[in-house]
Amino acid sequence: MRHLLSAADLARDEALQILQTAEQMHQVQDREVKKLPALRGRTIVNLFFEDSTRTRSSFEIAGKWLSADVINVSAKGSSVSKGESLRDTVMTVAAMGVDGLVIRHHASGAPQQVAQWVDAMVVNAGDGTHEHPTQALLDAYTIRRRIGDLDGRHVAIVGDLTHSRVVRSNLILLRTLGAHVTLVAPPTLMPSGVGAWAKEDGFDTSYDLDEVLPQVDVAMMLRVQKERMSGGYFPTPREYTVGYGLTRERLKVLPEHAVICHPGPMNRGLEITADAADEARSLILDQVSAGVAVRMSVLYHLLASSEGAEK
């Protein structure tokens, strides 16, 4: 594996290998000295053209715990704010001899384009409304730690599917790992062409959360991305919560063994209530913790393994 640009880049064996390595990396978080020498001498640049807390911080910690030299570059304060193009920015950074680029960009497909321009390893940390493969990996890792193998498990992905980059990556990876996936959203927030997509890739869609919820092993709630919306996708926030929010009442019909996920940040009181976010079945903080371990694993496989390190 040369880059990680999409969840589709991962065969089942490769995904499982990353998840298994993440188990070992997770143990580092409990050590007094949180350092491994695996990437000593390597340089990783985090290029973030959109705001981020969890992803950027976890990639930075992951690189540093693997002993890499990590440099953070954001659009604000860089030459991008002076009008420099994405190509010129990444070519300039790559010319300094860096080994890896972790990129978040508002344009879908930007990391794929960057990977064609540079010799360095490229990881997609989220591109527009397209994909976020490491988020899908950490979600799968977190769920597997709680309920075991995903083969045959039923996962409902609920919420703003139109504007989410998480849904595509999770759908691809969960299907790769053998899970059955149902996408749940109001008609206005269901992706365009989802019917043909579902038929081709073998997943289900529904507009009725209350019908799906009693059958699931995992309820994955997605944030309503108000900053990406222009126009009325639903009448009022209250009506959205009534129809598609994980509320106290819906917790009662969620199976006892089922778990709750949310990639964050959350709109408490909109797509998920405080009762659901903070209850015992919630894995939301576990997902944050897993982010470092999974991203350590990804960086290790791309830069430390003999295959991933080949230029």
What the block records as the tokens of 233 is: 């996708």
pTM of the full structure: 0.93
168 appears as a binding residue in the annotation: no
| CATH class (in words) of the domain with range 7-131+290-303 | alpha beta
The packing angle between helices 133-147 and 166-176, to 10°, is 50
Tens of pLDDT, residue by residue over 180-221, are: 999 999 999 999 899 999 999 999 999 999 999 999 999 999
165 appears as a binding residue in the annotation: yes
From residue 57, give the alpha-carbon distance in Å to each of 30, 38, 43: 18, 19, 16
87 appears as a binding residue in the annotation: no
82 appears as a binding residue in the annotation: yes
The packing angle between helices 110-117 and 86-94, to 10°, is 40
Could you check whether 7-131+290-303 and 133-287 share the same CATH topology?
Answer: yes
From residue 142, give the alpha-carbon distance in Å to each of 13, 146, 267, 290: 18, 7, 21, 6
E-strand spans in 200-291? 204-206, 218-221, 259-261
CA distance 286 to 147: 13
55 appears as a binding residue in the annotation: yes
- The stretches in the chain having pLDDT less than 70 are 77, 81, 227-232, 305-311
pLDDT at residue 256 in the model = 96
- Please give the CATH architecture assigned to the domain spanning 133-287: 3-Layer(aba) Sandwich (3.40)
Query: Among all chains, which residue has been given the structure tokens 């990783």?
Result: 44
pLDDT at residue 235 in the model = 74
Domain range summary for the chain, segments of one domain joined by +: 7-131+290-303, 133-287
Query: For residue 85, which phi and psi values (nearest 5 degrees)?
Result: -75, 160
223 appears as a binding residue in the annotation: yes
For residue 36, the number of C-alpha atoms closer than 13 Å in the C-beta half-sphere is 21
pLDDT at residue 227 in the model = 66
pLDDT at residue 233 in the model = 76
**42 CB-near residues (< 8 Å, 6+ apart):** 68, 69, 99, 100, 303
